[in-house]
């Protein structure tokens, strides 16, 4: 039985070959064949040539090169599309996802699990700011989408059936962790400690990470659009109160000439424009959900007996 290891690679430098070899050694299990599919996400260093050298000496290694840097999510998607295994393990190239866990993941899969997730025991972020940022993201994500994926990583084993379901989801913008969680397919959780990144810094820029966070929250929630509608209603309600006060002031002769009209116009116009925007936001939210064309439901997978 074949197990695929999908490894996204972006500018990992000359150590990539050694890392991939360590992954293969650690993942080795009796009576399971391995293929390691390295997806070069448009690296502009020696990563691709180093992997190519490995391909030539080790028949288990395959290289899929993307034309440019499409981002880790695209690399994972490409890897899953090209993987041939009955189960696929996705893991990082920098050994921050300990490959020593793979044999245990495979054992759990053979015992019948459809998904085996490696969840971080404790965050090991290089700075307090990173840690704070990650916490804020997961908390916002949980509130907005209703799914709790705190601690989840892209280090996962997926059964072929789950890979096929994932690939059938038609949306273009993908958040691997979030989408696998969204399918509702349950599995086993294994805990792991994140190792410090050996030798180099994370491939993510701060700005890139921020954009990733905003995209992921909005991919799973239309609440930000609804907020406009609520703000509109609030402004309108506030406007009506202020308008009444202004009219009262006018009647009791306390207002300056012209002030009443301007005041009422401004407040009520602002409020109604915002409410209209909110109503449009509501429809845009519906269009957004429809256009992602996620399946309405997913049927529980049948028990899988492995030889
Ligand atoms: N990666 C990628 N494309 C990118 C950025 C990163 O394929 O645009 C790969 C990278 O080579 C590594 C994995 O994704 O295998 C995780 O990246 P990194 O370790 O930099 O992220 P972090 O550990 O900070 O989440
Ligand atoms: Mg890393």
Pairwise CA distance, residues 157 & 112, whole Å: 12
Ligand nearest to the CA of 40: 1
**End-to-end CA gap in the chain:** 10
Over its length of 307 residues, how does the chain's per-residue pLDDT go in tens digits? 999 999 999 999 999 999 999 999 999 998 899 999 999 999 999 999 999 999 999 999 999 999 999 999 999 999 999 999 999 999 999 999 999 999 999 999 999 999 999 999 877 676 888 889 999 999 999 999 999 999 899 999 999 999 999 999 999 999 999 999 999 999 999 999 888 887 777 888 889 999 999 999 999 999 999 998 899 889 889 888 888 888 888 889 887 778 778 888 888 898 899 999 999 999 999 999 999 999 999 999 987 765 4
Q: Which atom of ligand 1 is nearest to the CA of 92?
A: 15
Q: Is 94 in the pocket of ligand 1 (CB under 6 A)?
A: yes
Q: Is 275 in the pocket of ligand 1 (CB under 6 A)?
A: no
Ligand nearest to the CA of 126: 1
Whose alpha carbon is nearest atom 16 of ligand 1? 92
Ligand nearest to the CA of 7: 1
Q: Which atom of ligand 1 is nearest to the CA of 39?
A: 7
Q: What is the pTM of this model?
A: 0.90
Whose alpha carbon is nearest atom 23 of ligand 1? 202
Which pairs with CB-CB distance under 8 Å and at least 24 residues apart come from 138-145?
140/213, 140/217, 141/178, 141/216, 141/217, 141/220, 144/217, 144/220, 144/221, 144/223, 144/224, 145/178, 145/217, 145/220, 145/221
Q: Under DSSP, is residue 145 helix (H, G, I), strand (E, B) or coil? A: helix
Per-residue model confidence as pLDDT tens digits over 5-29: 999 999 999 999 999 999 999 999 9
């Amino acid at each position: 039985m074949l197990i695929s290891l999908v490894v996204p690679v972006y500018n990992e430098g000359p150590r990539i070959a050694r890392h991939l070899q360590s992954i293969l050694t650690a993942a080795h299990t009796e009576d399971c064949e391995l293929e390691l599919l390295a997806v070069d996400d448009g690296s502009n260093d020696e990563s691709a040539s180093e992997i190519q050298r490995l391909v030539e000496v080790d028949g288990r290694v395959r290289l899929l090169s993307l034309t440019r840097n499409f981002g880790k999510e695209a690399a994972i998607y490409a890897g899953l599309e090209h993987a041939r295994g009955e189960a696929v393990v996705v893991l990082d190239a920098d050994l921050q996802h300990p490959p020593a866990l793979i044999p245990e993941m495979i054992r759990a899969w053979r015992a019948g699990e459809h998904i085996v997730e490696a969840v971080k025991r404790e965050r090991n972020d290089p700075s307090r700011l990173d840690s704070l940022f990650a916490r804020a993201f997961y908390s916002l994500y949980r509130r907005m989408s209703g799914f709790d994926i705190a601690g989840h990583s892209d280090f996962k084993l997926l059964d072929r059936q789950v890979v096929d379901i994932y690939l059938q989801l038609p949306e273009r913008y993908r958040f691997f962790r979030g989408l696998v969680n969204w399918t509702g397919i349950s599995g086993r959780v294994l805990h792991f400690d994140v190792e410090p990144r050996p030798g180099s810094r994370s491939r993510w820029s701060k700005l890139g990470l921020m954009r990733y966070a905003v995209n992921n929250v909005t991919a799973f929630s239309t609440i930000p659009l609804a907020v406009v509608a609520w703000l509109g209603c609030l402004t309108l309600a506030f406007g009506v109160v202020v308008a009444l006060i202004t009219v009262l002031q006018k009647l009791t002769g306390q207002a300056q000439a012209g002030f009443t009209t301007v005041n009422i116009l401004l407040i009520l116009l602002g409020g109604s424009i915002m409410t209209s925007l909110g109503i449009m936001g509501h429809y845009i939210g519906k269009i957004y959900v429809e256009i992602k064309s996620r399946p309405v439901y997913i049927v529980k997978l049948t028990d899988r007996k492995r030889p």
